């Protein structure tokens, strides 16, 4: 199995494992219900080998998955061998990025909290390029272009026929930190103002005046599937990435995001603050 397939199998395995655990069934009990072995159910959950979508469908029904959950999981099973658009960017994409792109490609909504930089889905090309140039390990121009190309391609999920529903909360430091140059930053703030006019994008700014807040330790993204049970939290560290999918972890970050939404300025006031920051550049 190619690395490009691994991410969909990983997502499928994690989801099947979660649905079975929610139903309270053992591997053996689940297999008996649909006429397959314990080893087969285990293989489906541990990303080992191919899957049959009919078995996945049957398991979802026995797990009492919702109709939306079942359709989403069966779609993953059917597309487990399908390569995403990012496969054309060579083999050097880290597995964590591969998984992120797979999850995003199938997501219906994302909730972002950013406390350092503008979220990748809302960055201008010049802003993204400036960030790559600021890397502590100098990158070749061709590598910078490749990474920026990937980020720009990612943004197409905001303009597809059924666009991603994006809710982004930005700490005020994000709009105050000058990346690249004042003019580059003005263009980036214009992009944020434009985004806040989109019917499927909600943008809020969390002002300095609010002081300490629930997510002061860092940025995070809640990647939303067709059903909340398919959600995954993504945290990007300087040295790697973390994907969280346990119910307790998801509940913690959902609650944090709700607190942040309540503390942040509304959309109109957020746009006014961005306008003010732009004027002060």
Beta-bridge partner residues of 232: 223
Q: What is the pLDDT of residue 72?
A: 85
User: Among 212, 210, 243, 250, which residue's Cα sits nearest to residue 229?
Assistant: 250
pLDDT tens by residue, 108-157: 899 999 999 999 999 999 999 999 898 777 888 988 898 899 899 999 99
Range with lowest mean pLDDT among 32-41, 213-222, 256-265, 268-277: 213-222
pLDDT tens by residue, 11-67: 788 888 889 999 999 999 999 999 989 888 998 888 666 788 889 999 999 999 988
Output 76 or 163, whichever has higher pLDDT.
Answer: 163
Q: What is the pLDDT of residue 239?
A: 65
In the predicted model, is pLDDT for residue 94 greater than 70?
Answer: no
Cβ-based neighbour number of residue 163 at 10 Å: 15
In the predicted model, is pLDDT for residue 2 greater than 60?
Answer: no
Q: What is the pLDDT of residue 4?
A: 41
Q: What is the pLDDT of residue 3?
A: 40
Helix or strand holding residue 233 (H, E): strand 232-237
- The reported pTM is 0.77
- CA 124 to chain CA centroid, nearest Å: 18
Output 87 or 268, whichever has higher pLDDT.
Answer: 268
Q: How confident is the model at residue 80 (pLDDT cuts 50, 70, 90)?
A: low
142 CB-side CA count, 13 A: 1
Q: What is the pLDDT of residue 201?
A: 96
175 contacts 243 by C-beta, under 8 angstroms: no
Cβ-in-10-Å burial (0-12, 13-18, 19+) of 240 comes to exposed
Query: What are the Cα distances from residue 14, in Å, to 10, 47, 96, 183, 220?
Result: 6, 9, 15, 45, 20
228 CB-side CA count, 13 A: 7
Segment 249-278 shows an average pLDDT of 95
Residue 23 tokens, joined: 């139903």
pLDDT tens by residue, 152-198: 999 999 999 999 999 999 999 999 999 999 999 999 999 999 999 99
Rounded CA-CA distance 279/186 in Å is 8
Residue 210 tokens, joined: 């609010």
φ/ψ of residue 252, rounded to 5: -60, -45
Q: What is the pLDDT of residue 218?
A: 87
Sheet of 220-224, strand order: 201-206, 165-171, 109-114, 220-224, 232-237, 240-244
φ/ψ of residue 64, rounded to 5: 60, 35
pLDDT tens by residue, 191-233: 999 999 999 999 999 999 988 887 777 899 999 877 777 788 9
How many residues does the structure list for the chain?
281
Segment 84-91 shows an average pLDDT of 59
């Amino acid at each position: 199995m190619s690395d490009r397939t691994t991410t969909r199998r990983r997502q499928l395995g994690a989801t099947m494992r979660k649905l079975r655990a929610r139903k309270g069934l053992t591997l053996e009990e689940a297999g008996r219900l649909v006429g397959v072995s314990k080893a087969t159910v285990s293989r489906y959950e541990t990303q080992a080998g191919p899957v049959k979508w009919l078995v996945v469908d049957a398991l979802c029904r026995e797990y009492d998955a919702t109709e939306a959950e079942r359709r989403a999981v069966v779609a993953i099973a059917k597309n487990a061998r399908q390569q995403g658009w990012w496969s054309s960017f060579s083999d050097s994409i880290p597995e964590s990025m591969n998984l992120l792109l797979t999850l995003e490609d199938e997501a219906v909504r994302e909730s972002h909290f950013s406390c350092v930089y503008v979220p990748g889905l809302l960055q201008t090309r010049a802003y993204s390029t400036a960030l790559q140039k600021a890397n502590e390990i100098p990158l070749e121009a061709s590598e910078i272009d490749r990474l920026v190309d990937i980020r720009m391609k990612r943004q197409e999920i905001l303009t597809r026929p059924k666009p991603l529903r994006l809710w982004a909360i930005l700490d005020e430091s994000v709009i105050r930190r000058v990346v690249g140059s004042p003019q580059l930053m003005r263009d980036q703030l214009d992009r944020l103002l434009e985004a806040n006019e989109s019917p499927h994008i909600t943008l809020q700014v969390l002002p300095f005046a609010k002081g300490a807040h629930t997510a002061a330790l860092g940025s995070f993204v809640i990647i939303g599937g067709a059903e909340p049970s398919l959600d995954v939290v993504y945290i990007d560290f300087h040295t790697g990435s973390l994907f969280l999918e346990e119910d307790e972890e998801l509940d913690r970050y959902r609650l944090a995001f709700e607190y942040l939404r309540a503390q942040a300025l509304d959309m109109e006031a957020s746009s006014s603050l961005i306008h003010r920051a732009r004027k002060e550049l």
